[in-house]
Structure 1
Amino acid sequence: MSRSLRVTYLLLIMLPAAVFVSAQTREDSLRGVLAQKALPLEQRIPTMVRLAQTVFFNKDWAQGVRIYREALVLAAPLKDGQYRAHTYGGLLGAYYIMGDSIAARRCLDSAMWYARRTTSKKIQGYVQYMKGWMEVRSHKEIEAIRSLQQALALLEDEPAAAVTRLSVYGELAFVYFQWYDLVNIEKYTRLALAEAPRTNSPDDLVSAHQDRGSYFINLYRSNTADREALDSALWFMRRAFYIGQANRAKLAVPSSIPHSAIGIANIFLAFFANTDAIKDSINYYNRIALEEARATKQFAVEVGVYNTLGSMAFEKGDYLDAIGYFRAAVDTGTKDILHNKFDLSQSNLMLAESYERTGDTARALHHYKQYMTLYKAQFDEGKMNNARELEAKYEIAKKEKDILEIRLLAEQRNRQLVQARVLAGQKDRDLLAARYAASLKDKALLAAEYEKGVRQQALITANYKTAKREQELKVMGEQMTYNRNMNKIYAVLTIAFFLAGLFLYYAYRHRSKSLAQTKKLHDLELGRLKQEHRISMLAATLEGQEKERTRLARDLHDGLGGLLSGVKIELSGLTALTTDPQQGTIVGKSLHHLDIAVDELRRIAQSMMPEVLLAYGLGEAAREYCNGLKKSGIPVTCQVYHYKNDMDPNRQVSLYRIMQELVNNAVKHANATHILVQLQQSDTRIYLTVEDDGDGLDKMQMTRLKGAGLANIQSRVEMLQGKLDVQSSPGTGTSFTVECLTTAEK
């Protein structure tokens, strides 16, 4: 693998999902956007995803993952699946980089599930890209190419998806770089170079020029007589370097500059004559690469520069300088968790040879062993990659062969079928001709017999008709007279019966409707009375409970609190009278315990009936309650939007008790890492939402919850004449939403 290809590989590993790490200014800008309280969820969630990516790649992996999880919690109420699909896509890249492939696979499954629940082609293409991205790193190149091609099909007509399309081109080029498929490498590096200006990102331009330069380096290696390919490689690498320097302040990835610089230095070192001018160029670009790599912590670039300088010193015979450079290469390479085994093995080999030239055989032997260990690991990895590549190519050839064999068998079967049909047609024609001749003979015989029978039947019929006609004429006259009389009687009776039946049917229908309507009105009135009675009983019960809570809180605060304060004052008087240090210590501890008891008593009284709720309303009471839990170590966040505090006090108390019950359930049973309490008012409607990212609930747990704790909450919601919505499934957390009016309906 060429050094430029290794540089491209490193960039692809460190920059997942085509979203580059940004500077501190970008993080501050994103946090400023999120600080806007009126920011809609549809804009807040993508902004949180960008912030998570920025924090993950620049500051702290764990903090970035937490922001991803918070975005998932916020996206739960949205029906469109694109927001959760986008968030899960970024989260799977983070987990894969952290080494948790199982969590990454779960995130991919979730992203695919939510992508099927949106019409956004951009998000569907992004999820397919992330699937291919993970398959490339899992050495599943055939599946990766299929996923990436599907991503391109979805993103083809999406003008806002230029960044994702560019990333897809880069992934495809990387796969074909591994297979040394110059035709496809040329295609996708060319497409990436054409797409990069549309993203308005200098990082994309730099990366596209670097990949294009790597293509021309491989093209020149396949034909060293093609000097134009070498000139093109040098031009694209220099172009990437100049773009990076000109846009240094705008670069989200400052490491692009040292990568371009060392790429240029390696081209001069590997393919140009060893003249003084070339040496000056190599030293110039190596110095820039080293300075920039140290500033951006690009250990792979530092190792490459140290190896180059060490090799040049070794060739001059400056073995001590060579040892210093190779020693620095080994030390720097071991800092990089993604270190290149080939570069590190070569550093150990050259360091061993340098020590050997100085006569230090012990150190030389040590680094020879390090070289052999790394070389073996690299050789084994190379064998695995070659085996995967050969297996992938074999599978492609096998599929093409199977398709050709299927087509050949189909053509043979078609020819046999046509021949069989021709023979069958000839036999059918001969059989039909014989049947037609026989039918003509039978038809002539039947026609003769039929004519004879017709003549005899005509004679008999004529005689019979004559006699019958005479008899019929006589009977017909009598029958006509009788029929006219009977028809008149039947008509009168029919009309009378019809009118009577119509009258009875109308009376029956009218009475049935009247009875049904009366019964329905009675049932409705009875149900209304029962509902009002149940609500009034419930309101009276809850009002009694709240009065009892208020009385107990007052008694605890005024009675027991005053008593404890009196005991504390009396004990405080003993402090001045006690001369024994041990007794003084006991009195001090007793006073401390009394302080704790008074604080606990105040907390209990405040929980039973918070004064903030009565004085300042539900919004401030909810904030104070959540802040108290947060101080005790419980991860609770409270958000209050547009709350006007115009709600009936009794209804505020009921909503406060509902919030307490839901938060306590989440703390005790959900195993949540974050709980969100949100109170929002829209005109005369109040919305209270309590969400957590805990274990979630399955159907059996939901049934038990409805039969126990949820019954108390449901009864309070009915007393408020409101609605309760529960959204939960195992592993995705739980969301409770209560909706009611500020005043009771009349």
Structure 2
Amino acid sequence: MIRFLHLLCFLAGLPVYAAAQVPLDKQKYLDSLQHVLSRAGPDSVKARASFLLSDYWSYTDSLRAKKYLEQGRKLSEKYPYLQALAWFYEAGYYFDHDVPSSESAYRKADSLLSRFPMKEAYHFRAKAWRNYGLQQQLKDDNKAFADILLTKTIPLAQKAGDTTYIGSCYQDVGLVFMNLEQYAKAEAYYGKAISHLKTDLANKTALAQTYLLGAKNYIFLEKYPEAKTMLDNALDLLEPYPGSALFLEYYTGEGMYYSRIADYQKALKSFDKGIALAKELDQAYSLQELAFQKYKTLTAQGKYKSAAAILMTILEQREVMSRTGNRKMIYSELSQTYARLGDMAQAHRWLKKYNELSDSLHESKFKRDINELEAKYQNAENQKKIVLLQSEKEKAVLSARNNRLGNWLLGSAFVFSLAVAAFAIFYYRNSKKLAVQKEINYRQQLKEMEQHQQLTFANAMLEGEERERKRVAKDLHDGLGGLLAGVKLNLSSWAAHKAIPQQDSRLAHITGQLDNSIKELRQIARNLMPEALLKFGLEAALRELCESVITGDLRINFEAFNIERSLPLTSQVTIYRIVQEALANALRHAEASDILVQCSQNKGRFYITVEDNGKGMNGSANGRKTGLGLDNIKNRVAYLDGKLEIISAANEGTALNIELNVTG
């Protein structure tokens, strides 16, 4: 944000007011920023555009200014430098209506931007200090403003290498000296400003403003040709932009110039143009400045009545009359104007107001001076007390330090003793806990070893049992089975040789007994080691097992899901034995008419459900003493690291839910 000064030229030396340096082509400037926001692009670029729009609207529309400021802050979240820059634009937002917040934000911006040693950061720090100085100038502290410009703003602008901005700062210094009626010094600084600003023709606004201020300064110096040259230079820059607010400055300067050279008609014409534009742009201070200059011209023409009417209009403007200096000047001018009109009563009335205000100011200044003297005296007395108190404090501090040292040594010894005792107690308790824990761990390890040995022994027993079953089944099938088959063949051959008829009852009885024996033998061999399991796999063997026990009074429903042929043979045999034992238990004890056998596999887990509608058991068999059949099932489930759940109730049947681990 760039803040410029505007001189309310009622009389030389009146206060300076802050106004914005608005681009000469305002609409083009506004459209270009809106275009940046509307198109796709980085957040950093859009954040800068939002900040500039906030600056643009901060003078006319505070709601829009706040909106764009917040938008810029949001877009700057990822960029620390832009977050620092946001404080600069926030200070500009508060500049006119909350001076303390604005001053605080400018200092915050300078502090945060000082972390970035780059030219742009120096440039914005220079702007921040310049605007902060303007706020001091608005408090009638021209000295502070000049000091800030010369010691803060210009050195930072030089670091930034910004020739144009240095020129703007020289313009400010010139305006300070012009307000102090030191026109020769002001002329020198305006000259420096113009020489710097001419190097950047793109920044026409600052150069035009300097020409206009320089023209006024030459008018006060009564250098009228130089003033006219300055006005013409400014007009050359402003003509392409007829709606620019800088035309208000131009019409003021042009009217003052014509008034000083006694061309009053041209002067009044210039002032009237400026007044019309000020009303159009809603620029209250410029409007009153132009009105006051018109009053001066009418007075010079001797048109006192019209001049008095203008003063009365200015008197009604609260913004202008809120400053004591302005009120004094207007009261004085009214008194003189009414005296010229011969209305001595009104002249005396306004002179009295002027004197009362002057006396009030003098009394206020006198009281302020007395208070300052009293404050200095009190400060001197306080300094004496402070020195005495500091001496006493140093003695007390030394004594307290010695006491603290002694107490610290005693306390340290006591704490050390406590620490040693605490460590000893802790070590003893910890050693005791460790010993107890070691004993617990040792017992746990023994228990685990015992369980492991029992499991190993059980596994070995089961594996041995299966091997023995396989051997006995083979011997029965190949040995005794073959022998019985041979006996039957020999008997049939003998009967045929002896011509014994096949219908012979004794021969039929003997042959039937042999057939039953062979069938029973094969059934025993199948139970010992099912042939279908070895030939066709687990699913076929289980299906054959279920079908083999179906009778007219017993239905068995077998369901299989996703059983893999690649299961290890030992796992297949164990699963077969579990289902075989479960069916045997149901047949022997359940008195059931329907049995459901369901087997499924999910990768390394195998699930078995055997459910009947028999008479059930009294309560669950999970935790109570069980028979040999259930013990065999439990051992085989444990062999495959599985889980067994038995659900049973009297007259409601029994369900066995088994989950087995069949990986590798």
TM-score normalised by the chain length of structure 2:
0.46
Higher-Rg structure is: 2
TM-score normalised by the chain length of structure 1:
0.41
Q: Could you say which structure has the higher helix fraction?
A: 1
